[in-house]
């Protein structure tokens, strides 16, 4: 596999862009080598500037659940672009998007659109503090909620990849308002509420952790969070930027039967364009400007192109049998991958929920940040490079999630399983 043009582009990019990339993990520093520069994508594949085509399981980090350049999405975008790309004013599309979200996610009475998942979590936390009159937030070690100052404390995703889960530039006073608990350990949360009774505004959690690899919640964990927050008067915020409309129409909260106070969304509701949203109970959302004292605004919020792509995607997902197909594809891939690793004698912990999956290179069960960190990242780097050479594109980090799309065919999955089996024998 040649990457001559990609290498040249990276050298050019480094002269103008920090590390040559606009998001840290794309630099491939944890896996080595040079990232391929992508020029186009169709269905379940992406193609780089050197002409190499890969079966894609990154899916733009989750939103491409229908696959790339889905005909219905592209057709709708073309029509929307001809009507103008941004108005900075209310549009009928925003109302339609709100209807789709509110009808699908029972916990959300009201919703407000923003332009990224980071904006969604940042705004939700400000609202939680404004509504409760409290300042402290509980988050979980290894959970990533965007690059919000108060949430880049023991964060996952890129922070774990580079071994720096905390970021410079965050004031100590702000960091002190963020309390850290252990994912899947309810006792660690209860201890914080005992230590700071009546001071915690909210608990924010990925109901299915997706930024320290993919880690499902233990039985009773989410239910326990609902109980402890309700008892203390704190809010429970589900960050479903990844899981929203990915694991089902009602997200993880629908899957597990939990009723959070607020929910953050992104990824899929933009159909591949920049988007985010946050919402929740009406009595909480009434505190947001212009109705209430908590200010939040955005020039491109509800952008007509992003909302068009998202609406089209959501309406396809509502077609009968779509989530069943996604689950079948995810199960088929997970089974074949586990068998390939077993045949090669490579110990892995394989996790899957619906069309989300992850394989940790470790013998011990992975249930939280500490156990995820025990994974053999050097072996993963070798595995990643081997798969890329075989034409299979996965996230360049042990601590990210893989995604199956409706566009992946059985042949795509079989070729992937075959490639994994081949590479696994070299590890």
What does residue 220 show for φ and ψ, rounded to 5 degrees? 90, -10
pLDDT category, 151, cuts 50, 70, 90? confident
CATH code for the domain defined by 71-317: 3.40.640.10
Q: Of 48, 56, 232, 239, which is the active-site residue?
A: 239
Interval 248-272: pLDDT, tens? 999 999 999 999 999 999 999 999 9
What is the predicted pLDDT for the residue at 153? 64
pLDDT category, 152, cuts 50, 70, 90? low
pLDDT at 165 over 70: no
Q: What is the mean pLDDT of residues 293-319?
A: 96
- 87 as an active site residue: the answer is no
Per-residue H/E/C for 100-127: HHHHHCCCCCEEEEECCHHHHHHHHHHH
Domain ranges in the chain are 4-69+321-424, 71-317
Q: What percent of the chain has pLDDT over 90?
A: 90
Q: Of 28, 54, 139, 144, which is the active-site residue?
A: 144
pLDDT at 170 over 90: no
Q: Is the bond leading into 290 cis (omega within 30 degrees of zero)?
A: yes
What is the predicted pLDDT for the residue at 166? 62
> Got the DSSP string for 202-266?
EEEE-SSB-SSS-BPPPTTHHHHHHHHHHHHT-EEEEE-TTTTTTS-TTHHHHHHT---SEEEEE
* Mean pLDDT, the chain, integer: 94
pLDDT at 93 over 70: yes
Helix, strand and coil content of the chain, in percent to the nearest 5, comes to: 40, 15, 40
pTM beyond 0.85, yes or no: yes
Interval 22-34: pLDDT, tens? 998 999 998 999 9
What is the predicted pLDDT for the residue at 160? 44
What is the predicted pLDDT for the residue at 168? 73
User: In this structure, is the dihedral angle defined by the CA atoms of residues 347, 186, 403 and 120, taken in order, positive or negative?
Assistant: negative
- 239 as an active site residue: the answer is yes
Residue 57: which of 48, 73, 44, 69 has the closest Cα?
44
- CB distance 150 to 128 below 8 Å: no
pLDDT category, 159, cuts 50, 70, 90? very low
- 267 as an active site residue: the answer is yes
Q: Of 267, 369, 373, 376, which is the active-site residue?
A: 267
Instruction: Write out the CATH class of domain 4-69+321-424.
Output: alpha beta
- CB distance 368 to 185 below 8 Å: yes
pLDDT at 156 over 70: no
pLDDT category, 146, cuts 50, 70, 90? confident
pLDDT at 403 over 60: yes
């Amino acid at each position: 596999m040649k990457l001559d043009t990609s290498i040249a582009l990276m050298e050019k990019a480094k002269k103008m862009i920090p590390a040559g990339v606009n998001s840290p993990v794309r630099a491939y520093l944890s896996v080595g080598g040079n990232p391929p520069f992508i020029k186009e994508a169709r269905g379940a594949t992406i193609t780089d500037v050197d002409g190499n085509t890969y079966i894609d399981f990154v899916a733009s980090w989750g939103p491409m659940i229908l696959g790339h350049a889905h005909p219905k999405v592209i057709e709708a975008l073309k029509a929307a672009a001809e009507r103008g790309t941004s108005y900075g004013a209310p549009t009928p599309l925003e109302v339609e998007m709100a209807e789709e979200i509110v009808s699908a996610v029972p916990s959300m009475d009201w919703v407000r659109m923003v332009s990224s998942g980071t904006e969604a979590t940042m705004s939700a936390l400000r609202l939680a503090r404004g509504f409760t009159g409290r300042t402290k937030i509980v988050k979980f070690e290894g959970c990533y909620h965007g690059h919000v100052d108060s949430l880049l404390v023991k964060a996952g995703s890129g922070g774990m990849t580079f071994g720096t889960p905390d970021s410079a530039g965050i004031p100590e006073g702000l960091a002190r308002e963020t309390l850290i608990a252990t994912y899947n350990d309810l006792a660690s949360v209860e201890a914080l509420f005992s230590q700071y009774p009546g001071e915690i505004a909210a608990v924010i959690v990925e109901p299915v952790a997706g930024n320290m690899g993919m880690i499902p919640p233990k039985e009773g964990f989410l239910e326990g969070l609902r109980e402890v927050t309700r008892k203390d008067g704190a809010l429970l915020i589900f960050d479903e930027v990844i899981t929203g409309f990915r694991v089902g129409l009602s997200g993880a909260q629908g899957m597990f039967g939990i009723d959070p106070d607020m929910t953050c969304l992104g990824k899929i509701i933009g159909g591949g364009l920049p988007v985010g949203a946050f919402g929740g109970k009406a009595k909480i959302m009434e505190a947001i400007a212009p109705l209430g004292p908590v200010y939040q605004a955005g020039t491109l919020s509800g952008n007509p192109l992003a909302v068009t792509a998202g609406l089209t995607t959501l309406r396809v997902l509502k077609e009968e049998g779509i989530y069943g197909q996604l689950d079948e594809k995810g199960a088929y891939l997970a089974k074949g991958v586990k068998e390939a690793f077993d045949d090669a004698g490579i110990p892995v912990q394989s996790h899957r929920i619906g069309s989300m999956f992850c394989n940790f290179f470790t013998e011990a069960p992975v249930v939280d940040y500490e156990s995820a960190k025990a994974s053999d990242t050097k072996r993963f780097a070798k595995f990643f490079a081997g798969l890329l050479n075989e034409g299979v594109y996965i996230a360049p980090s042990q601590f990210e999630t893989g995604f199956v799309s409706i566009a992946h065919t059985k042949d795509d999955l079989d070729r992937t399983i075959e490639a994994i089996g081949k590479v696994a024998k070299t590890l």
